Amino acid sequence: MAKNKLYLRLVSVLFFLLSACSSVPELADKKTSYRLLPADDSPLAIHVGPQVSEHPEQTGAIPLINGLDAFIARLALIKSANTSIDLQYYIYRNDDAGKLLIWHVLDAAERGVRIRILLDDLTSKNLDQGLLNLASHRNIDVRLFNPSFFRRFRGLEFITGFSRMNRRMHNKSLTVDNSATIVGGRNIGNEYFSNNEDVDFGDFDLMVIGEAVEKVSTQFDRYWNADTSFPIASLTNNVTAADDELERLGSLLELEREAFESNQYVGRLKLSQLLQQIQENRLIWHWGKSEVVYDPPEKAKNQLQQEWLLSDLSRFLSGAQKEVLIVSPYFVPTKAGTRSLVQSANAGLDITIITNSLAATDVLAVHAGYQGYRQPLLKAGIKIYEVKVDPLNKPSSWSGSSRSSLHAKTFVLDRKSIFVGSFNFDPRSAHINTEMGIMFHNAIFANAVVVGVEEGLADSTYQLALEGGELIWIDEEKNRVIYAEPDAGFWRKFMADLIALFPLESQL
């Protein structure tokens, strides 16, 4: 009994200390800032200016499907920067891709370009000192969205302040000179840019110019100046490296950069088709009307629900007349969403859903939340395809990813309009995390995306069907039928079924 009392006292003291240490820091030095107009003689303005002028009130878009091309596009924009660079990401890894990108950002800062880096804080553990070093540059500011105020024990703060810490900024954008931007599903890390032997996320971004850019910049400004975004220095007691330490770090950085020139990934980047098109000035832009839609940063406080992205997407999807293609790696339609999809299918809408199989998913809990909705969707005539796992890189029973895992988030309506962004078809994107994306209206572009997807279905997916009321998986490539979750071992299936018993859907 005495031990129990001592335990309770210790827990009470711990929670008290966490509450005291995690108080909101003062933001007396936080300054508002906004997008900068591009210089007329900047390389990017010279390149895109005439094309934008020829297409007033329209957006030009280039699809970024291949991981190498998607990374080259980011590096090319950063190298062309003359005025400003705004980076906004949910995940930024300190790996080859993350380092290579930030080296280009540092080069731009040295040229006098203003840099604003806004990261969600959930996955920034162990990055504080590096972010502080970056922020010590006269042209670089770094802020974290909805951060932990107790930096050393973030996991504990997640427990004591779950309602706040559970809400994350999932937005992803890179905007240069307020003239061009990249929006889509990719974070910054090797696995998003075809440089990871364990997992390769199949993803999708748009590089755009024209009308949409200004709206993406407006979105960034709103998040940057929100009271949920904190300068990195305010979270770390403003402890920065001394000048001599920064000089030493700079020397080490140069040595690392020189060594990286022989990296195999750099060699692969030089083979990018997009790089050749950029060098030969052969970029082909697709033009059309667009809408930039996003959650307000106040969603992190469960505020301004009337402005949430979900209402924009509902309006967008309700405009379909004939067919809808839904590509979502984390697909949890919920009971209400399933009823809506079934009603639409019964009314004659042709609906196709592409998501990860149990073996291919990198979030087992999401599959647990999704698997129970497959039968009612199939009974309504909705087509479901699940991405195959790489047979040489099967996942563990509990966690981890396969070599190939879907990560793209896109919806295509009537082969005329397309949404590309960070929004997954699940409750977390709808009600918890902040999201953003672009609705782009161009029939030739949208149809090409659908045709490209359809051409790869046989090789890369299983089509689900019902046989005697039970699920089957059709492997068209090998002309076979599978009667259990393909490529997923017993324990992975067991864990998915076990997790499905718990009331976790609202968090998925």
DSSP 92: B
Is 21 part of any domain? no
H or E element at residue 467 = strand 461-467
DSSP 473: E
| Shared domain check, 190 and 239 | yes
pLDDT at 89: 97
Query: How far apart are the C-alpha atoms of 48 and 73, rounded to whole Å?
Result: 14
Task: List, for residues 364-419, the tens digit of each pLDDT value.
Answer: 999 999 999 999 999 999 999 999 986 555 444 444 444 567 889 999 999 999 99
| Shared domain check, 391 and 330 | yes
pTM score of the predicted model: 0.91
* CATH number of the structural domain spanning residue 471: 3.30.870.10
Dihedral, CA of residue 413, residue 419, residue 420 and residue 425, to nearest 10: -80
Amino acid making up residue 89: Y
pLDDT at 246: 58
Question: What DSSP string describes 67-79?
Answer: HHHHHHHHHHHHH
Is 15 part of any domain? no
CB 176 within 8 A of CB 80: yes
Q: CA triplet 7, 9, 11: central angle to 5 degrees?
A: 70
| Shared domain check, 334 and 429 | yes
| Shared domain check, 402 and 328 | yes
Position of tokens 């999807």?
Answer: 317
pLDDT at 60: 97
Q: Which residues pair with 230 in a beta bridge?
A: 144
Q: Which residues pair with 60 in a beta bridge?
A: 209, 287
Query: How far apart are the C-alpha atoms of 122 and 146, rounded to whole Å?
Result: 8
Q: Distance between the two ends of the chain, CA-based, in angstroms?
A: 39
Name the residue among 384, 386, 442, 391 with its Cα closest to residue 418. Answer: 442
Distance of CA 460 to the CA centre of its chain: 22
pLDDT at 369: 94
Name the packing angle between helices 67-80 and 96-110 (round to 10°). Answer: 10
| Shared domain check, 78 and 147 | yes
| Shared domain check, 156 and 65 | yes
Is 413 part of any domain? yes
| Shared domain check, 116 and 258 | yes
DSSP strand pairing (84-89 vs 114-120): parallel
| Shared domain check, 74 and 142 | yes
CB 437 within 8 A of CB 331: no
| Shared domain check, 270 and 124 | yes
Active site residues per annotation: 170, 172, 177, 407, 409, 414
pLDDT at 180: 96
pLDDT at 11: 42
| Shared domain check, 136 and 68 | yes
Is 465 part of any domain? yes
| Shared domain check, 275 and 315 | no
Task: Report the domain count for the chain.
Answer: 2
Query: How far apart are the C-alpha atoms of 129 and 131, rounded to whole Å?
Result: 5
Amino acid making up residue 147: P
Token pair of 440 as six digits = 């782009």
How many residues are present in the chain? 508
- pLDDT < 50 regions, the chain: 6-21, 394-402
| Shared domain check, 332 and 215 | no
Position of tokens 């490209």?
Answer: 452
Query: How far apart are the C-alpha atoms of 145 and 90, rounded to whole Å?
Result: 9
Question: What DSSP string describes 148-164?
Answer: -SSGGGHHHHHHHTHHH
